Amino acid sequence: MSLQLDLAIETEATEEDKKAIEWIGKALRAAVEAEQLPPVEVSVTIVDNGAIRQMNKEYRKVDRPTDVLSFPLWDPEEEWVIAEEEEAVSLGDIVISLPKAKEQASEYGHSLERELGFLAVHGFLHLLGYDHETKEEEEEMFQRQEEILGRIGLQR
């Protein structure tokens, strides 16, 4: 089980922010392990509220900033087909608003590491087909997120 992570920071980030952002890779590797996936590739982009607001407006028709957006490239209904053992399955893209993550970390009284890990895993599970449209789906998805974050010590 392995993860190819393409991480881009497209907003101002302090050294402290960058250290917190490193937890995204740890959280996603824990998610790949927990889900027992073959080698996968994921792109994560860290942006500001203006950029995520524009994407949210364009893709979801919601004209406000949000914390995380997921853009799946893989269909959860498909079988895992790997052409070569070393070839990773490209799952898609995750976009996270750094200012929104900081705001929510403060609001919820936990670390920026915890919030970024949560948002990354949340976006990742969406790439795998998890959703939270119903109460049952929400409970399953949020329980899975907490289980994954617990593996790396990012509990609430």
User: Is 110 part of any known ligand binding site?
Assistant: no
Which burial class, exposed, middle or buried, applies to 65 when counting CB atoms under 10 A from its CB (0-12, 13-18, 19+)?
buried
Structure tokens at 144: 């899975």
CB atoms closer than 10 angstroms to residue 76: 12
User: Is 122 part of any known ligand binding site?
Assistant: yes
User: Is 126 part of any known ligand binding site?
Assistant: yes
C-alpha torsion 11→42→90→10, nearest 10:
10
Known binding residues: 122, 126, 132
Known binding residues for Zn(2+): 122, 126, 132
